Amino acid sequence: MSVIEAKADRCPYPRPFPEDFTECPAYQATVFIAVDSRNKPLGTWHTCRHLAPGSDIENRGRFYPRCALGDLAQRMQWVAHVTPERLDVVRALQEEFDHFSLPHREMLVDARARLHQQGADSEATDSELQQLIDAFLDAIDRFLKQNEARFRDVGLPPEPLKRLIKEWLWAWMRSGELATSRLSQSPGDALEDSVGAFLGVTADSPQYPARRLWDRPLYTDSLLRIVPTVEPPGLALVGDVDGTNIEAVTQALWSVRNGTDDVHLDLSGLLFCDLRGLQAIVRTSQALDGGRSLVLHGLPRQLERALEIVEWAPLPHLKIAREVAAA
């Protein structure tokens, strides 16, 4: 009997994903509309942008649902890097783009179908197509301009975005394939791919402030993993700290208070932390004796501000390390 070890980058969640799936913090919903050979919709499926077919060589090359981001640790670090808010803003922009572009897309699909039916010698349809594309590009221009602040906020400069959408549009028009599911994909997917390109680049090389002993977690639940770190010694909190796991967080923090050196917290993987979580951190720093400090690494700027608002910063034994992230 052979034990087949599950691949670390195997997607552990049940698929297809329910519409309001929130269990995986890295989940990036894409709606997939399957169509038959006559372009009649067969149904709507929710899948994840990061889901890719993986081939398991040790298991006779069998396919398995692979998470393109990697294993759990890599998924969590990716989300912490891009932040859940950024993902939501990008998602909202995609929705709005799909909504406003629908009439344009419908007209284009229609015109394109006629073009491919009539063959190459149909100049009327060709110029009609040209007009439709120009009108669509104008509309895209307006959309990008109107939402420029939001695009810039999430790190998507409108100019390269526009180029990508334009290229995608032309490629789609020229491609001869008619009756495939690709036809029902919207230019929103182009937007999404470009977002992926931008976000992917920055997320590729996570900077850990500390070496994490990922395989020896002190605590694990569906939201949070607390792992010991070495160099420097301390803890890493990866995921969400809230009322559901505050006791575990308090205990874990309490367990590292003894010693002779400063205690380090790697918070670069923190997706969310409520005030009770911050309080546990503050109380731990106050319990350190002998002039030792609790040093916070990778504290999100927002939480630093929250500490200041509730007057938990500055405190004598709580240090906020300012590491400049390597670009």
CA distance 45 to 236: 36
Token representation of residue 178: 């008619």
Interacting stretch for another protein, rule CB under 8 A, among 37-45, 53-61, 181-189, 302-310? 302-310
Closest CA to 183 of 8, 73, 309, 41: 41
Which is closer to another protein, CB of 64 or CB of 272? 272
Q: Answer yes or no whether residue 102 interacts with another protein by CB under 8 A.
A: no
> SS3 for 225?
strand
Cβ proximity of 313 and 285 under 8 Å:
no
Instruction: Tell me which residues in 222-251 interact with another protein (CB under 8 A).
Output: 223, 240, 242-244
Which is closer to another protein, CB of 85 or CB of 159? 85
> SS3 for 159?
helix
Residue with tokens 């999100």, as numbered in its chain: 300
CA distance 232 to 240: 22
CA distance 13 to 183: 28
Q: Answer yes or no whether residue 150 interacts with another protein by CB under 8 A.
A: yes
Q: Answer yes or no whether residue 255 interacts with another protein by CB under 8 A.
A: no
Long-range Cβ pairs for the range 132-139 (8 Å, 24+): 132/104, 132/107, 132/108, 133/108, 133/169, 133/170, 133/173, 135/104, 136/101, 136/104, 136/105, 136/108, 136/169, 137/166, 137/169, 139/100, 139/101, 139/104
- Output b/e per residue, 231-264; b: 16+ Cβ within 10 A: ebebbbbbbbbbeebbebbbebbeebbeeeebbb
Q: Residue 256 CB, nearest distance to another protein (Å)?
A: 21
Interacting stretch for another protein, rule CB under 8 A, among 66-74, 102-110, 142-150, 209-217? 142-150
Per rule CB under 8 A, count of chain residues that contact another protein: 35
Which is closer to another protein, CB of 18 or CB of 41? 18
Terminal Cα distance for the chain, rounded:
48
Q: Answer yes or no whether residue 107 interacts with another protein by CB under 8 A.
A: no
Largest CA distance in the chain: 87
* Window 265-284: contact mask with another protein (x via CB under 8 A): -------x-xxx--x-----
Residue of 67, 154, 256, 270 interacting with another protein (CB under 8 A): 154
Using the 8-state DSSP alphabet, how is residue 232 labeled?
Answer: T
Residue of 7, 46, 49, 86 interacting with another protein (CB under 8 A): 86
Q: Residue 187 CB, nearest distance to another protein (Å)?
A: 20
Residue of 88, 141, 148, 167 interacting with another protein (CB under 8 A): 88
Residue of 311, 316, 324, 327 interacting with another protein (CB under 8 A): 311
Output phi, psi for 50, to 5 deg.
-85, -5
Interacting stretch for another protein, rule CB under 8 A, among 80-88, 100-108, 119-127, 255-263? 80-88
Q: How many CB atoms lie under 10 A from the CB of residue 147?
A: 18
Q: Residue 163 CB, nearest distance to another protein (Å)?
A: 24
Q: Answer yes or no whether residue 302 interacts with another protein by CB under 8 A.
A: yes
* Window 16-45: contact mask with another protein (x via CB under 8 A): ----x-x-----------------------
Using the 8-state DSSP alphabet, how is residue 57 labeled?
Answer: G
CA distance 95 to 86: 14
Instruction: Tell me which residues in 155-214 interact with another protein (CB under 8 A).
Output: none
Q: Answer yes or no whether residue 114 interacts with another protein by CB under 8 A.
A: no
Which is closer to another protein, CB of 89 or CB of 173? 89
Binding site for another protein (CB under 8 A): 20, 22, 83-86, 88-89, 91-92, 95-96, 147, 149-150, 153-154, 223, 240, 242-244, 272, 274-276, 279, 300-302, 306, 309-312
